[in-house]
Structure formats: C-alpha cells, structure tokens
Amino acid sequence: MLDGSEHLKWTKSKYDAYDDDHLKKSLSELDDKNLRVVRSSGDTAAEIKRHSADSIHSAEYFNPYQENAQMEPLNAVAKYDGEHLTLWAGSQSPTQATDYVASVTGISLDKITIHSMRSGGGLGRRYFYDFIAEAAYLAIQTKKMVKLLWIREDCIQHGRYHLARCDNNTIALD
C-alpha cells in the first residue's frame, strides 16, 4: 500500500472554524426568504393560529455533511486490451457511468462496455462513478485486468458526502 502522508504539509484555512456546529447555526438562522418550503397542505399559518399551543409541535432536524458509509464496499473490475475497455461494476446508471468513464479516459463510448452487477446497500453512493473510472484508469495504465476495492478508510477519506441539511417542521394536531 502506498502512503505519502509524511510528505503533506497542512496550512491554515479560512474554513478552520467551519465545523458542524457552525454549519448548523448558519442553517438554523436563515431567514424565511432563503428557505424552501418542501410541503405545505392548505393555509398552514391559519391552521396553526386556529390550534391551541399544546397541539402544535415543532422540531428541527440537522444532518451534517457525512460520508455515505454504505454497507457494501465500492468495487469494480476493469480490463483494457489496448482498444476496448470492459468494466464490471455496480452502478445506479450504467449509461451515465459509461459517459463519465469516457470523459475521464478519453476512450470513445463505442469502445467501452459496462456490465452492471447487481448490488445493494450502496444507499445512493453508486450514483457516482469515481471508483469505476479509477479501475478503468488503472487497467489502461497497467495494461492488466484490475480489481478495485475501496476499503472503509478510502470511502471515509475520499468519498462523496451527503449534503448538509436542516429541516424545520411544524404540525398542528387535532
């Protein structure tokens, strides 16, 4: 395993204090004009006014940026024969995965075949194709068949994060 961490030099950033607490506070303090109403049934303001205080319930839910941490590790197999690239990988959109691999490798679409493997437990992470493109790139560079498996540390350090969000909910119960 290659490790170049001893050569890294970290510097201060203007975002050093931008942690989950800062993000939650920033999202919680947004004014109404910057909020998006996802669902509202009827005249919400009038309904809330019509109900007594003890029948109104409000809650705020915060989800920070977080790695997907899917159950099944990201994996792909790639074979390049000098002309045609063949891949085996789980993907939520093999067509888009093919387009992405073509854009990264420069190989034309008609020279790429992806065999989409049935997989589960990706929780949406397989909608991104970086791991498939990585296997393709390695197969092209080494001219060997490559089996790529991201370990948990790879996923946590280099994966795609879910967007942070803050949901405010108010309901009135009869």
Number of domains into which the chain is organized: 2
The verdict on 118 and 81 lying in the same domain is: yes
Of 92, 104, 97, 159, the closest CA to residue 129 belongs to 97
Is 16 inside a domain boundary? Answer: no
The verdict on 150 and 171 lying in the same domain is: no
The verdict on 150 and 168 lying in the same domain is: no
Is 172 inside a domain boundary? Answer: yes
The verdict on 91 and 144 lying in the same domain is: yes
Query: Are the beta carbons of 104 and 135 closer than 8 angstroms?
Result: no
Of 88, 116, 85, the closest CA to residue 102 belongs to 85
The verdict on 152 and 97 lying in the same domain is: yes
The verdict on 64 and 87 lying in the same domain is: no
Number of other CB atoms surrounding residue 92 within 10 Å? 15
The verdict on 89 and 119 lying in the same domain is: yes
CATH number at residue 154: 3.30.365.10
Is 2 inside a domain boundary? Answer: no
Is 38 inside a domain boundary? Answer: no
The verdict on 169 and 148 lying in the same domain is: no
Is 62 inside a domain boundary? Answer: yes
pLDDT for position 1: 47
- Digit-by-digit pLDDT tens for the chain (174 residues) are 445 556 667 788 888 888 899 999 998 888 878 888 887 778 888 888 988 989 999 999 999 988 888 888 899 999 999 999 999 999 989 999 999 999 999 999 999 999 998 876 677 788 889 999 999 999 999 999 999 999 888 888 888 888 888 888 888 888
pLDDT for position 115: 96
The verdict on 61 and 81 lying in the same domain is: no
**Burial degree of 86 (CB within 10 A; 0-12, 13-18, 19+):** middle
The verdict on 141 and 168 lying in the same domain is: no
Residue 61 domain boundaries? 46-68+162-174
The verdict on 152 and 96 lying in the same domain is: yes
Is 126 inside a domain boundary? Answer: yes
The verdict on 92 and 124 lying in the same domain is: yes
